[in-house]
């Protein structure tokens, strides 16, 4: 009987699809994920929020003088966004392109991280659930530096796993870790994460042992680079004191609002009721993923002090703290939830295989129900994301399609704007439009386009109103021409 089981295992292991199942799975996931990232902004979440407008404005006008004076907040992302707008012109897609690229890299890093900590079957299934989830797709489709709040910790944890997993870590990974930490501290709240990393290493016995056995040269280089980064940060804070407030808290943060921010953030993450003043599509975390995360949290209670088991719980605490400073920082939870989901899947698969320890066909028999289950978990999330950002009134009205309307209807005209003037002024660099504020000089032109509310203009007559498909404030542009005989 044992011989027959061995023969069965041998036959199954020689099957092509079984032998290369994980490679095939990652290739399919990679192609689908990449295609989805680059095409979704064309028909889902394709408009701009006020945060994206502010981010694009700050990025485009970033100059050497500002950097020298301490304007270093989210500098790596802003340089990438400035380059994108300069090359492709001002559009919804060029504003979102940096997040798409960072999101693609973030997805790869998350897959690599999970593959370092878990077996291939667990990491592949978890990767499918997370990188195709609503919060991940939202981050990759939002033209703001918010994605860096998840990117840097994921990158640092992956580099840390490469250092931790070796008896004598390669110096390259140590240098990369220190440089990544140096760049990350210019992202809001990442100073806390840097301090968290230091304390976690000092108080975690296994990591403390690894630290003691690191080669001296890489260790000294890492320490010097980190000290140099904080020294550079200190010099910039001296030139621009507001930097410290932006990095540690938020410009409008008040101590009394800490609890309300946490409540608001968790509501956006889990509540089905939504928030009419949020760009988050509630619930960002679906019920099946949340259930797997809770199973994973339960499974980590045994052997909690192992680094992989405790880090997810500690990251959740860290996420709650920074959510108290800014409710939008709750998006950081995507990282610890990913780790907990992997723990949950690992627990479930071990229990399933434990039922049939001598039956090789048990693994094959679980393939169909698992595929069906994951299909029911992933497809509804994609539908929820695509149609939610187009038709859900709680979030759709937080986005504006003004840029697309302007570019499709105006050409070689004078455009008068009252709000976000510096943002629309960028259009002059890639179109024939002339963008001005409401000043007397605009009366020198025969054709005039006014963005926003209708204005009574003495020698002009209203000729056309350009509208948007949006339900609220659909009258976007008022076109005027000079009155006959004037």
Q: What is the pTM of this model?
A: 0.87
Low-confidence ranges of the chain (pLDDT < 70): 1-19, 65-70, 165-169, 204, 206-207, 210-211, 213-215, 218, 251-253, 273-277, 303-309, 356-367, 438-445, 453-458, 471-473, 483-486
Query: Do the Cβ atoms of 302 and 308 come closer than 8 Å?
Result: no
β-pair type (48-49, 434-436)? unpaired
CATH code reported for the domain at 401-482: 3.40.190
Alpha-helical regions (H) of 148-281: 148-164, 171-184, 190-203, 205-212, 216-239, 242-248, 258-270
pLDDT given for residue 67 in this prediction:
66
Q: What are residue 125's phi and psi, to 5 degrees?
A: -65, -40
Task: Summarize pLDDT for 166-223 with one digit per residue, the tens.
Answer: 666 677 777 788 788 888 888 888 888 888 777 777 776 766 776 676 667 767 777 7
pLDDT of residue 1: 47
CATH 3.40.190 in the chain is located at 401-482
Cα 265 to Cα 257: distance, rounded to the nearest angstrom:
12
- What is the per-residue DSSP string for 262-320? HHHHHHHHH-SS--TT-SS-S-SS-HHHHHHHHHHHHHTTTTTTSHHHHHHHHHHHHHH
The separation between CA 453 and the C-alpha centre of its own chain, rounded to angstroms, equals 34
Residue 469, judged by CB atoms within 10 A of its CB (0-12, 13-18, 19+), counts as exposed
Question: Could you give the CA distance from residue 336 to residue 326 in angstroms, rounded to a whole number?
Answer: 18
Question: How high is the pLDDT of residue 110?
Answer: 92
Q: Which residues contact 444 (CB under 8 A, 6 or more apart)?
A: none
Contact residues for 116 (Cβ-Cβ < 8 A; gap 6+): 158, 161, 162, 165
> End-to-end CA distance of the chain, in Å?
102
């Amino acid at each position: 009987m044992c011989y027959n089981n061995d023969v069965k295992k041998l036959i199954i292991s020689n099957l092509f699809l079984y032998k290369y199942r994980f490679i095939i799975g990652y290739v399919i996931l990679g192609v689908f994920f990449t295609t989805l990232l680059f095409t979704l902004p064309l028909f889902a979440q394709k408009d701009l929020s006020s945060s994206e407008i502010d981010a694009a404005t700050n990025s485009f006008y970033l100059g050497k003088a500002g950097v020298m004076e301490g304007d270093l907040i989210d500098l790596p992302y802003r340089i990438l966004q400035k380059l994108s707008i300069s090359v492709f012109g001002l559009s919804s897609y060029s504003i979102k392109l940096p997040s798409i690229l960072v999101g693609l890299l973030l997805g790869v890093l998350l897959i690599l991280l999970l593959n370092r900590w878990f077996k291939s079957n667990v990491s592949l299934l978890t990767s499918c659930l997370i990188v195709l989830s609503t919060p991940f797709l939202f981050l990759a489709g939002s033209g703001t530096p918010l994605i860096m709040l998840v990117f840097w910790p994921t990158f640092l944890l992956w580099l840390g796993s490469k250092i931790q997993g070796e008896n004598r870590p390669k110096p390259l990974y140590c240098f990369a870790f220190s440089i990544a930490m140096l760049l990350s501290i210019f992202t809001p709240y990442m100073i806390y994460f840097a301090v968290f990393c230091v304390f976690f290493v000092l108080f975690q016995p296994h990591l403390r042992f690894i630290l003691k056995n690191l080669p001296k040269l890489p260790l000294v280089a890492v320490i010097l680079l980190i000290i140099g980064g904080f020294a550079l940060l200190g010099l910039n804070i001296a030139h621009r004191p507001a930097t410290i407030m932006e990095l540690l808290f938020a410009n409008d943060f008040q101590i009394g609002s800490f609890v309300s921010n946490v409540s608001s953030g968790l509501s956006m993450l889990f509540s089905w009721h939504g928030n009419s003043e949020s760009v988050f599509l509630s619930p960002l975390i679906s019920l099946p993923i949340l259930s797997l995360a809770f199973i994973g949290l339960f499974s980590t209670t045994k052997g909690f002090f192992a680094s992989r088991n405790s880090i997810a719980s500690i990251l959740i605490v860290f996420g709650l703290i920074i959510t108290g400073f800014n409710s939008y920082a709750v998006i950081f939870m995507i990282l610890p939830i990913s780790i907990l989901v992997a723990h949950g899947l690992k627990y479930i698969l071990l229990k399933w295989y434990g039922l049939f320890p001598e039956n090789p066909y048990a693994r094959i028999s679980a393939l169909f129900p698992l595929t069906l289950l994951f299909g029911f978990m992933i497809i509804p999330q994609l539908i929820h994301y695509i149609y939610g950002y187009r038709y859900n009134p709680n979030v759709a009205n937080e986005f504006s399609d003004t840029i697309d309307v302007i570019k499709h209807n105006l050409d070689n005209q004078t455009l008068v704007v009252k709000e976000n003037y510096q943002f629309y002024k960028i259009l002059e660099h890639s179109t024939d439009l002339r963008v001005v504020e409401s000043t007397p000089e605009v009366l020198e032109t025969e054709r005039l386009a006014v963005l926003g509310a209708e204005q009574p203009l003495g020698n002009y007559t209203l000729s056309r109103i350009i509208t948007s498909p949006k339900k609220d404030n659909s009258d976007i542009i008022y076109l005027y021409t000079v009155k006959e005989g004037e």
